[in-house]
Amino acid sequence: MRGRLTGSFRGSTNRAIGKAKSVTGRATLNLRMFIAGERQLQRGNRRRFFGRIKGLFGNRF
């Protein structure tokens, strides 16, 4: 289940960012990024995850 979830997450990231014009959409997207990030932190991919976050959002966080 974990693999399928992260796979669909990766595929829909760009579309979700394009769609997230409303505040709720953005909040949902950030929540999903955080959840996926927590999963990756548990797997020990901390550096790669934060690199991807910085690439997507710049210094917004």
pLDDT of 17? 56
pLDDT of 32? 80
Contacting residues for 23 by C-beta, under 8 A, at least 6 apart: none
pLDDT in tens, 2-21: 555 555 555 555 565 555 55
Q: What's the total number of domains in the chain?
A: 1
Would the pLDDT of 52 be above 60? yes
What residue numbers bound the domain in which 12 lies? 2-57
Contact 33, 53 (CB under 8 A): yes
| DSSP-derived secondary structure letter, 22 | S
d(CA 19, CA 29): 10
